[in-house]
């Protein structure tokens, strides 16, 4: 019977094990997040291991990108590259020398074998099989009996080939007709018969282990208790379980996370989707070596908290109506039994909604400080009020100063729609009277302005809808926005009088031209 760590009380140690083959897709960030949350919740350790054994797919800069993107998200490992830890190094290419003895051990125990077939020979086999109507040729328990390997060749010939330096790989010797069973925390029991599995390469002719061998050896040596990773690795899990058994090691418990799907549910959201669907698929900007830019959530203006909150809900829910969670709150209530099996559809509108909620709940002071840090050159106390006035209507931090530009400068554009619908022949006279009232106010706060406005429209027997838009148009140039009385108080009496007087002339002439 296959043993896993559920049977012994091991401390929780989980890892995120990306391959540096490019920027980290948001699905990868979610995997890292769930690992992180699971570790926090269970007083465990979360570590990062870089799986770079496939030198042909190595992309310079990808490792730094991954570490930087996770740091932006606040997903901080306690062990990993550049951080250290008892079980390092945490980059597989730096552990290169460790793997061969494990592969050799399996050969000695008749659980693996040397295979000398060249890539060309294997291609020919595949071609021949295709011609005979077998398109999915595999190196497996059947075909291995007629190929060039240490199972078919006499021992002296094998020794000769090896000492002559012939290239070879080490392949797993899949037993025939055995059911492999393991219990996935999310998917339940998984059963696969070994007759359906091929003899995967464990060790390559370039002296490097394959992903499978390195992954198992490292998870074992790093005392990983739970492997939490994307569903795309589920087909590899039976081989991994076989390898744990072959070494006589307890296997970690497995949890394969649901796929992230495109918004229409049509297929997996992939790296290749880039910006094609109108939203980023990466946490932060990534520029390819050809200079092509893929946009990221950070540079689009998302707060890391909002991004993480949104990701947490792609495949998990807390079982309560609460939707806004800080990273710490997520860690308190995260459990794998609330992770769903079904693919999770990415929702760009919901992502914006999370961002809006985070912007709204941030303090005006904090938002003003962030704007100043980003180069907004406005007096802090003023900026705090701008944030107060604009944040309910903004999605991103910068919207506050772009959409609220009229709070800082006189408007230069005047909303055409409001002019054509609301600006009548008598509007300039009406606004002329209103500016007189404003200029007579000795206190210029929003309650006083509001009271004066109400008594003005009453005295004219006019409704708010006929007058307020004119006032807004002259002060801000817009047809909609936050409280006019607060805006007027913020601008101050002098500025209001100037804007209204100038505005009347401009709008009158615009109306005349129309
Ligand atoms: N290196 C694999 C990846 O790129 C890790 C899979 C695993 O977690 O076992 O996703």
Nearest CA to ligand 1 atom 6: 17
- The C-alpha atoms of residue 209 and residue 97 are separated, in whole angstroms, by 10
3-state secondary structure of 256: strand
Closest CA to 304 of 366, 370, 358: 358
Q: Is 271 in the active site?
A: yes
Confidence at 175, pLDDT banded by 50, 70, 90:
very high
Ligand 1 pocket mutation, candidates 215, 227, 239, 271, criterion most atoms within 8 A of CB = 215
Indicate the CATH number for domain 416-513: 1.10.10.350
| Residue corresponding to tokens 């919207």 | 399
| Residue corresponding to tokens 């595949």 | 126
Residue 446 CB neighbours (<10 A): 15
3-state secondary structure of 264: coil
Q: Is the pLDDT of residue 6 over 80?
A: no
Say yes or no: CB of residue 31 within 6 Å of ligand 1.
no
Q: Which helix (DSSP H) or strand (DSSP E) does residue 3 occupy?
A: none
The mean per-residue pLDDT over the stretch 301-313 comes to: 98
What does DSSP assign to residue 51?
Answer: -
Q: How far is CA 171 from CA 35, 179, 188, in A?
A: 31, 20, 29
Confidence at 4, pLDDT banded by 50, 70, 90:
low
At 472, list the tokens.
């807004």
Give the domain ranges of the chain: 271-360, 367-405, 416-513
pLDDT value at position 277?
A: 87
pLDDT value at position 2?
A: 59
Say yes or no: CB of residue 53 within 6 Å of ligand 1.
no
pLDDT tens-place string over residues 69-106: 999 999 999 999 999 999 999 999 999 999 999 999 99
3-state secondary structure of 246: helix
Confidence at 205, pLDDT banded by 50, 70, 90:
very high
pLDDT value at position 273?
A: 81
- The C-alpha atoms of residue 233 and residue 225 are separated, in whole angstroms, by 17
pLDDT value at position 3?
A: 59
pLDDT value at position 145?
A: 96
- The C-alpha atoms of residue 240 and residue 481 are separated, in whole angstroms, by 59
Q: CB burial class (10 A; 0-12, 13-18, 19+) of residue 367?
A: buried
Report which ligand 1 atom has the smallest distance to the Cα of 236.
9
At 436, list the tokens.
């007189």
Q: How far is CA 265 from CA 29, 308, 351, in A?
A: 20, 21, 16
Closest CA to 192 of 156, 234, 151: 234
Indicate left, alpha or beta for 148 from its phi (over 0: left) and psi (-120 to 50: alpha): beta
| Residue corresponding to tokens 């492997």 | 227
Confidence at 276, pLDDT banded by 50, 70, 90:
confident
Give the Å distance between the CA of 331 and the centre of ligand 1: 23
Is residue 30 a contact partner of residue 70, using CB atoms and an 8 Å limit? no
Report which ligand 1 atom has the smallest distance to the Cα of 228.
8
- Strands (E) in 161-252, as ranges, are 169-172, 179-184, 188-193, 201-203, 226-230
pLDDT value at position 22?
A: 92
Is residue 38 a contact partner of residue 30, using CB atoms and an 8 Å limit? no
Ligand 1 pocket mutation, candidates 15, 17, 35, criterion most atoms within 8 A of CB = 17
Residue 136 CB neighbours (<10 A): 8
Report which ligand 1 atom has the smallest distance to the Cα of 215.
9
- Straight-line distance from the first to the last Cα atom of the chain, in angstroms, rounded to the nearest whole number: 85
pLDDT tens-place string over residues 377-415: 999 999 999 999 999 999 999 999 999 999 999 999 999
Between 355 and 278, the more confident residue is 355
- The C-alpha atoms of residue 510 and residue 138 are separated, in whole angstroms, by 77
Geometric angle at alpha carbon 175, from 170 and 181, rounded to 5°: 110
What does DSSP assign to residue 294?
Answer: E
Q: Which helix (DSSP H) or strand (DSSP E) does residue 115 occupy?
A: strand 112-115
Antiparallel, parallel or unpaired: β 286-287 and 260-261? unpaired
Is residue 257 a contact partner of residue 315, using CB atoms and an 8 Å limit? yes
Q: How far is CA 85 from CA 90, 92, 191, in A?
A: 9, 15, 36
Say yes or no: CB of residue 215 within 6 Å of ligand 1.
yes
- The C-alpha atoms of residue 398 and residue 424 are separated, in whole angstroms, by 35
**Could you say which architecture CATH assigns to the domain 271-360?**
Orthogonal Bundle (1.10)
Q: Is the pLDDT of residue 364 over 80?
A: yes
Look over the chain and give the mean of its residue pLDDT values, rounded to a whole number: 96
3-state secondary structure of 392: helix
């Amino acid at each position: 019977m296959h043993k896993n760590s559920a049977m012994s009380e091991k401390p929780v140690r989980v890892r995120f094990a990306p391959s540096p083959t490019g920027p980290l897709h948001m699905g990868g960030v979610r995997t890292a997040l769930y690992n992180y949350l699971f570790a926090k919740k269970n007083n465990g350790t979360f570590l990062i291991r870089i799986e770079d054994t496939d030198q042909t797919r190595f992309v310079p800069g990808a490792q730094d990108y991954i570490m930087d993107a996770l740091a932006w998200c606040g997903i901080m490992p306690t062990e990993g590259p550049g951080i250290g830890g008892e079980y390092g190094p945490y980059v597989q290419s730096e552990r290169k020398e460790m793997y061969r003895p494990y592969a050799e051990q399996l050969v000695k125990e008749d659980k693996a074998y040397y295979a000398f077939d060249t890539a060309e020979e294997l291609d020919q086999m595949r071609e021949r099989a295709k011609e005979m109507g077998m398109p999915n040729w595999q190196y497996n328990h059947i075909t291995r009996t007629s190929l060039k390997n240490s199972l078919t060749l006499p021992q002296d010939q094998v020794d000769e080939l090896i000492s002559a330096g012939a290239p070879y790989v080490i392949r797993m010797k899949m037993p025939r007709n055995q059911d492999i069973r393991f219990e996935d925390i999310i998917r339940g029991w998984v059963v696969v018969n070994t007759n359906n599995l091929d003899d995967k390469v464990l060790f390559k002719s370039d002296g490097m282990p394959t992903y499978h061998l390195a992954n198992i050896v490292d998870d074992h040596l790093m005392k990983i208790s739970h492997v939490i990773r994307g569903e795309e690795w589920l087909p590899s899990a039976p081989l991994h379980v076989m390898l744990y058994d072959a070494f006589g090691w307890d296997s970690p418990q497995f949890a394969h996370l649901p796929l992230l799907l495109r918004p229409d549910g049509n297929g997996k959201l992939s790296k290749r989707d880039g910006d094609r669907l109108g939203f980023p698929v990466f946490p932060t900007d990534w520029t390819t070596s050809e200079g092509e830019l893929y946009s990221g959530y950070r540079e689009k203006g998302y707060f890391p908290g909002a991004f993480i909150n949104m990701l947490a809900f792609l495949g998990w829910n807390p079982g309560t109506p609460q939707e806004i969670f800080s990273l710490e709150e997520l860690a308190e209530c995260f459990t794998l039994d609330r992770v769903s099996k079904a693919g999770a559809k990415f929702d760009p509108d919901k992502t914006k909604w999370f961002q809006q909620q985070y912007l709204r709940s941030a303090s005006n002071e904090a938002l003003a400080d962030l704007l100043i840090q980003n180069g907004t050159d406005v007096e802090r106390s003023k900026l705090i009020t701008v944030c107060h006035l604009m944040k309910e209507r903004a999605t991103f931090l910068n919207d506050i100063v772009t959409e609220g530009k009229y709070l800082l400068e006189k408007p230069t554009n005047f909303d055409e729609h409001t002019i054509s619908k609301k600006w009548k022949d008598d509007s300039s006279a009406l606004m002329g009277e209103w500016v007189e009232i404003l200029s007579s106010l000795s206190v210029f706060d929003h309650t006083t302005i509001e009271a004066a406005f109400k008594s003005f429209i009453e005295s004219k027997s006019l409704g708010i809808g006929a007058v307020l838009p004119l006032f807004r148009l002259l002060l801000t140039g817009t047809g909609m926005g936050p409280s006019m009385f607060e805006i007027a108080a913020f601008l101050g009496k002098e500025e209001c009088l100037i804007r209204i007087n100038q505005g009347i002339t401009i709008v009158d002439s615009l109306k005349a031209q129309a």
